[in-house]
Structure 1
Amino acid sequence: MSRRCELTGKGPMVGNNVSHANNKTKRRFLPNLNDVTLQSEALGRGVKLRISASALRTVDHRGGLDAFLARAKDEDLSPKALKIKREIEAARSTAEA
């Protein structure tokens, strides 16, 4: 399982541990990933995703999963999230027609 947020594409970063004596050793900064189930109003069901805590706050701020995916760039989304975005767009287009 990759350490990458499925909604924002946020992944590991590289930096240094710096000791009191100013010795530097490489380290990794991992994103705070959580397994969550987000509800989609357009699909009428829950969707399981592995997203970062900051992405979860952003989803709440934008008004839910459907609103977040409508504004999200396709290149940032995982293949699973991209498939969900297409399903939501299809459900909304059939509901309007």
Structure 2
Amino acid sequence: MARRCELTGKGPMSGNNVSHAKNRTRRRFLPNLNDVSLMSEALGRTFKLKISAAALRSVDHRGGFDAFLAKAKDEELSASALKIKKDIAKAQAAA
């Protein structure tokens, strides 16, 4: 999944470049994606994900990676993030 946040689903948007003479040409606005390693406390290991800077702030705001995934909607998550979410739910149910 290229150019798409694995946690929020944020992807490229389209718009216009507007010159001084008001000539309009199409352009793309790409999300600010970063490769990060996030630690899951329930599983005790880290996961490498490609997420947006806004998603990284949201993870911190919600109290960590596990809490963010617990509240996240399944349709926004990538396949790998959805698998991590289910593994965390199993680990928390067993504990």
Rounded Cα–Cα distance in structure 1 between residues aligned with 2:64 and 2:48 = 14
- Residue 76 of structure 1 pairs with residue 63 of structure 2: no
Indicate the percent of aligned positions where both proteins have the same amino acid.
Answer: 75
- Residue 38 of structure 1 pairs with residue 38 of structure 2: yes
Aligned twin of 1:52 = 52
> Which consecutive segments of 4 or more residues in structure 1 shift more than 3 A?
none
How far off its partner does 1:94 sit? 0.6
Size of the aligned set, in residue pairs, is 95
Rounded Cα–Cα distance in structure 2 between residues aligned with 1:14 and 1:7 = 21
> Which structure 1 segments of 5+ residues have no match?
none
RMSD of aligned residue pairs (Cα, Å): 0.6
Q: Deviations over 1:53-88 (max 9, x none)?
A: 000000000000000000000000000000000000
Q: How does 1:1-97 map to 2 (within 5 A)?
A: 1-95=1-95
Tell me the TM-score normalised to structure 1 length: 0.96
> Which structure 2 segments of 5+ residues have no match?
none
How far off its partner does 1:27 sit? 0.2
Tell me the TM-score normalised to structure 2 length: 0.98
